[in-house]
Chain A
């Protein structure tokens, strides 16, 4: 299968000197779902900003076979969309329809095409009747879904999602995961950032683990990575399992199917 994303020796330092990314390298195949897990502040959002060309670090980034540079930035942004962690950052227009059609219009599509694409995107996320609704009156779950529609309307091949399920209640989260499933079945390449192990378990083909020194420490099949308790514990992705039995508090590794004496 062709390669969707390739990153080599990518390092980024914020203007104030904070290291955002430290020698990052990985590859994602087309049609693959790669979940990047890492604790808070391990550079996951910084990585996305670099992939989108918003921040410019040192290193090599290749998207769909072409090296990311200022010349082809626009073309790459047609093929790759990003969904921000906070939907309030993504929905900046006064109505949902304006937001969803913003991308297609800027791509220079015709009016009918724009409307068709926007309506299709809204239908995909289950917000058909929300066209004239005001973004800031939506619930958080609806905002999250509207935010993904603003990118889907541009019909990108690759989607970057920054903590898509954080802040969602269980039902909204599972609605959102269903949308991700649909996208996956359509053959889109998904790159999802999260520290939600359950989300990774549900959808990942492969998992990449970021350590607290902003460097990827492990990559592999989701089963191998998610069953490696030492790795997850060391990288602050699970906590030692604590629970109470009457007055006794037990602390042990987070293991499913593991039993211990009480």
Chain B
């Protein structure tokens, strides 16, 4: 956890969750053809990165880890989507053609998900996971879901460690023979891992009921919405409204002929 006191770190997780979800919602409901809008969203995101003191380089470096996955999925879309052919290539008997609609769909996926990824990077570098879960809890997200996420976060590394130990035990005694046999061994290892996890779950559950667990987790609530939170949410929502309603274009346009300002609006 970093201890700089940037604006976004001081905010309540609830206001961040609400604002970021609102931005994502607006982005995905904007048609991709309004490319200028996405430029504006990008500006909003950069502003947030700026106030949370994340350097653009840092932001992109972290985002770049995830973006290849999106690209990989989106890569085939231009070829698969049917429509007006933009460009085609012939390899032996197959013709691959890129369609106009395909390109737009590709852009749709890539632009929207990249921007969302940048937002997630900002959110995750300004919020600890436990604060995030507390925020979700206070926003009335079902507790079961929150507990699942919390346990996943808590035990994924324990589980990975256990798997690593099993793998090491195997590789120390594996000398590259009997290739087929190895599948049986790997299946066996998965079974062992499952049983160990199951037994651990039993012990953890005992530890919970010993301390009075009765099906509901409650934690001490330190969180408090401050004026800063309301300002931040208000700021986000006003920017979103401006972008979605196209107000900015109208203002820009009416500057050119400022006598018609009122007509512009």
Residues of A within 8 A of B (CB): 49, 52, 54, 74, 77-78, 81-82, 84, 86, 88-95, 97-98, 101-103, 105-107, 111, 114-115, 118, 132, 134-136, 150-151, 154
Task: Say yes or no: B151 contacts A92, CB within 8 Å.
Answer: yes
6 A–B contacts, CB within 8 A, in A order: A74-B212, A93-B154, A101-B219, A102-B208, A106-B212, A111-B220
Q: Are B207 and A92 in contact (CB-based, < 8 A)?
A: yes
- Which chain A residues border B154 with CB–CB below 8 Å? 91-94, 135-136
B11 lies within 8 A of chain A by Cβ: no
Partner of A106, one of B150, B157, B213: B213
Q: Is B89 an interface residue (CB 8 A)?
A: no
A54-B206, A93-B154, A154-B211 known; A114 vs B133 contact (CB < 8 Å)? no
Q: B181-206: contact bitstring with A at CB < 8 Å (1 yes, 0 no)?
A: 00000000000000000001001101
Task: Check if A89 sits within 8 Å of B211, measured CB to CB.
Answer: no
A49 to B214: give the CA distance in the assembly, Å: 18
B1 at the interface (CB under 8 A from A): yes
A84 to B207, CA, bound (A): 8
- Of A77, A86, A106, the most chain B CB neighbours within 10 A belong to A106
Chain B residues near A78 (CB-CB < 8 A)? 212
Main secondary structure of the interface of B (DSSP, over half): helix
Q: How far apart are the CA atoms of A90 and B209 in the complex, in Å?
A: 11
Q: Which residue of B lies closest to A105 (CB)?
A: B218
Complex: A111 Cα to B203 Cα, angstroms: 28
- CA of A90 to CA of B154 in the docked complex: distance in angstroms? 12
Residue on A nearest B158 in the bound complex, by CB: A88
Q: Is residue B88 within 8 Å, beta carbon to beta carbon, of the partner chain?
A: no
Q: Is B130 an interface residue (CB 8 A)?
A: yes
Q: Which of A52, A88, A103, A114 contacts B220 (CB 8 A)?
A: A114
- What 4 A-B pairs come out closest when comparing CB atoms? A106-B212, A94-B130, A103-B211, A89-B203
Cβ-based interface call for B232 (8 A): no
Residues of A close to B211: CB separation below 8 A: 77, 81, 102-103, 106, 150-151, 154
B220 to A115, Cβ gap below 8 A?
yes
Residue of A nearest to B208 (CB): A92
- In the bound complex, residues from chain B placing their C-beta under 8 Å from that of A105 are 218-220
Q: Using A77-B212, A90-B207 as known contacts, say yes or no to A98 and B151 having CB atoms under 8 A apart.
A: no
Interface flags for B65-99 (1: CB within 8 Å of A; 0: not) read 00000000000000000000000000000000000
> B207 CB to closest chain A CB, in angstroms?
5
Closest-by-CB residue of B relative to A101 is B220
Interface string of B148-164 (1 = CB under 8 A from A): 00110111011000000
Knowing A98-B130, A136-B157 are in contact, say whether A103-B212 is a contact too (CB < 8 A).
yes
- Smallest distance from the beta carbon of A192 to chain B beta carbons, Å? 17
A94 touches B129 (CB 8 A): yes
User: B57 within 8 Å of A by Cβ?
Assistant: no
Most chain A beta-carbon neighbours within 10 Å: one of B129, B133, B200, B211 = B211
Cβ of B247 to closest chain A Cβ, rounded Å:
42
**B11 CB to nearest A CB, Å:** 16
Residues of chain B lying within 8 A (CB to CB) of residue A107: 212
Shortest C-beta distance, B122 to chain A (Å), equals: 21
CA distance A91 to B207 in the complex (A): 9
Q: List residues of chain B with CB within 8 A of the CB of A98.
A: 130, 219-220
Residues of B within 8 A of A101 (CB): 219-220
B221 at the interface (CB under 8 A from A): yes
**B130 (CB) vs chain A CBs: closest residue:** A94
Contact (A132, B212) CB under 8 Å given A49-B206, A92-B204, A111-B221: no
Given contacts A111-B221, A135-B154, 8 further A-B contacts (CB under 8 A): A77-B210, A86-B203, A91-B154, A103-B211, A106-B218, A115-B220, A132-B1, A150-B211
A135 to B204, CA, bound (A): 14
Do A106 and B214 have beta carbons less than 8 Å apart? yes
Closest to A112 in B: B220
> Is B6 an interface residue, CB under 8 A from the partner?
no
Which residues of the partner chain A approach B157 to less than 8 Å between Cβ atoms?
136
Residue of A nearest to B151 (CB): A92
What is the CA–CA distance of A128 and B207 in the complex, to the nearest angstrom? 23
Please measure, in the bound complex, the distance between the C-alpha atom of A97 and the C-alpha atom of B209, giving whole angstroms: 18
The answer to whether A132 touches B210 (Cβ under 8 A) is no
Neighbouring A residues of B200 by C-beta, 8 Å: 88-89
